[in-house]
Amino acid sequence: MRIYHNPACGTSRTVLGLIRAAGVEPEIVEYLKTPPDRAELTGLLARLGLTPREILRRKGTTLETLGLDEAAMTDAAILDALLAHPILMERPIVVTAQGAAVCRPADLVAPLLASETAP
């Protein structure tokens, strides 16, 4: 199990706590310190079944706060913005062998934990 984590985010800390409480020690990727490259991010999007636009944060640092007009941007341009400014990525994202999810709200991690801890 891997979590794309921001320790400054309450929801991300909650999800990490839920994972550990289930007896799993995930690989922690502090994506602000070690951002994904293009191949990793596009692979992550494919696992999630989402577009770059669908993993944009809607609170805090957004494209608008960076002076970018989201409505006018293509998915390719948003992907470039995510690569240049990883803070734009919604968090936390949890990846397991069985699936992946943006775990906001935190209880969205439950199905991933169930598949990871099932006998």
Among all chains, which residue has been given the structure tokens 């669908």? 54
Could you state, in chain order, the average pLDDT of each consecutive group of 10 residues for the chain (119 residues)? 96 97 96 96 97 88 76 89 93 94 96 80
pTM of the model: 0.91
Integer CA distances (angstroms), 55 to 22, 79, 87, 114, in order = 26, 10, 11, 23
Map residue 86 onto helix, strand or coil: helix
Q: Just list the catalytic residues.
A: 9
Give the CATH number for residue 34: 3.40.30.10
**Helices in 22-74 by DSSP H: which ranges?**
38-48
100: which DSSP letter?
A: E
> First and final CA of the chain: distance in angstroms?
16
Our count of domains for the chain comes to 1
**Range of the structural domain that residue 33 is part of:** 2-117
